[in-house]
A and B are shown apart, each in its own frame.
Chain A
Amino acid sequence: MSEHIVPKKTYYAVFGALMVLTALTVFVARFDLPGILNITVALTVAVIKATLVVLYFMHVRYSSRLTQVIVAAGIFWLVIMLVLTASDYVTRNLLAPVARISM
């Protein structure tokens, strides 16, 4: 089970895609989109870029199943932390709405 050598062409293609996505995210950020659309677009683009780096630059697409599971576990645990904490913050004021001093 010798390692997989990714052709240079793939690296250049991924690099191109990353550049285009960077330009895209800066471009979209200029417009005032309704609601949470701005942050949604920005994060979606960031996730796509990160996925490209992980899959191709970090060879996870060609790696062993074990490596893939580890990567998935890392993301899963981060999501656990974010989601369960958010479950507090999102529902905290449902029972007794309090006006918060802010904004």
Chain B
Amino acid sequence: MAQSEATAQHSVVHHPALAHHFENLEQQREASTLGMWIFLITEIMFFGGLFLAYSIYRSWYPQVFAEASHHLDIVLGGINTVVLITSSLTMALAVYYSQVGNQRKLILFLVLTLLLGLTFLGIKVVEYSHKFHDGLIPGVHFRYDGPNPQQAQIFFWLYFAMTGLHALHMIIGAGILSFLIYFAWRGRYSPEYHSPVEVSGLYWHFVDIVWIFLFPLLYLVGFHVKG
């Protein structure tokens, strides 16, 4: 641990971003990274409940799930996967440029990440409106032609719960990116102090990972079944 090596009479130059209760920026950075990781653990468990429900019902109704997943647009889902992975790359590069102190490229890649995130959300809106049009929104108006509509409804229910929560995280992520862009433009980040960029990057990558699992579980699960 850093602070146990540090002595009480520290001689660190006081950085404007250093909060009063920390000894130095290193300790502050360590705390914020750790905090974000623990937050991500809670996110794992949060989504975990839904993944658990998915596993149980898929093991109960494998056929129904496969058939229901045919109603999802695999092309749009695939494009979104590519978009999101690319946004992870641009986010990683943004963190890189904040580390080396290239402010122009930092802003550029943050903006790119934001645009890709918005693209993802846009495509999601298109997908949702298709589902709405097809009457596949669970609830009283749910319409489904295939066999076992009730069990198919569970699939769509899970689809909307999981992708909806994921999209909510994307929206929050887009908000965070906007703040980062603003403060990067104001020149707040430097190689000494850029932990906001770093921890936001962790969050963004986590949201990407959730999608990495959602894509095969929801879109590819029935791809091989002739529909």
Give bound CA distance, A81 to B47, whole Å.
12
Q: Tell me whether A11 and B212 are in contact in the complex, defined as CB-CB below 8 angstroms, given that A70-B37, A75-B44, A102-B61 are known contacts.
A: no
Q: With A11-B89, A30-B223 given, is the CB distance from A102 to B26 under 8 Å?
A: no
CA distance A49 to B38 in the complex (A): 21
- Would B2 and A71 count as touching, CB distance under 8 A? no
A78 to B55 alpha-carbon distance, docked (Å): 13
- Asked if B63 lies at the interface with its beta carbon under 8 angstroms from chain A, I say yes
Cβ of B8: which chain A residues have Cβ within 8 Å of it? none
**Interface residues on chain A, number (Cβ under 8 Å):** 49
A31 to B29, CA, bound (A): 48
Q: Which of B34, B85, B88, B223 contacts A22 (CB 8 A)?
A: B85
Chain A residue contacts of B92, Cβ below 8 A: 6, 11, 56-57
Complex Cα distance, B224 from A31, in Å, reads 5
In the complex the two chains form, is A30's CB within 8 Å of B45's CB? no
Partner of B59, one of A26, A66, A89: A89
Contact between chains at A33 and B216 (CB < 8 Å): no
| Chain B interface, >50% SS class | helix
Interface residue from A19, A39, A78 paired with B48 (Cβ < 8 Å)? A78
Q: Which of A14, A49, A71, A73 has the most CB of B within 10 A?
A: A49
B212 touches A49 (CB 8 A): yes
Please tell me if the beta carbons of B37 and A3 are within 8 angstroms of each other in the complex: no
User: Contacts A11-B96, A32-B225 hold; do A43 and B216 have CB atoms under 8 A apart?
Assistant: yes
Q: Is A98 an interface residue (CB 8 A)?
A: no
Size category, B interface: 35 or more
Please state if B224 and A54 are interface contacts (CB–CB under 8 Å).
Answer: no
Contact A102 B99 (CB under 8 A): no
Contact partner of B37 (CB less than 8 A), chosen from A39, A43, A67, A86, is A67
Asked if residues A103 and B63 are in contact (CB atoms below 8 Å), the reply is yes
Question: For A30, A53, A85, A100, which residue has the most chain B Cβ atoms within 10 angstroms?
Answer: A53
Q: Is the beta-carbon distance between B212 and A8 smaller than 8 angstroms?
A: no
**With A11-B92, A102-B151, A103-B61: A58-B85 Cβ-Cβ less than 8 Å:** no
Other A-B contacts than A66-B34, A74-B41, A77-B48, 15 sampled, CB-CB below 8 A, are A11-B92, A11-B93, A15-B85, A15-B88, A18-B85, A19-B85, A26-B78, A42-B217, A42-B221, A43-B213, A46-B212, A46-B216, A50-B213, A58-B202, A70-B34
Please list 26 pairs of residues, one from A and one from B, whose beta carbons are closer than 8 Å in the complex, sorted by A's number. A6-B92, A11-B92, A11-B93, A12-B89, A15-B86, A15-B89, A22-B81, A29-B220, A38-B224, A42-B217, A42-B220, A45-B216, A46-B216, A50-B213, A53-B208, A53-B212, A56-B92, A57-B201, A70-B41, A73-B41, A78-B48, A82-B52, A89-B56, A89-B59, A100-B60, A102-B151
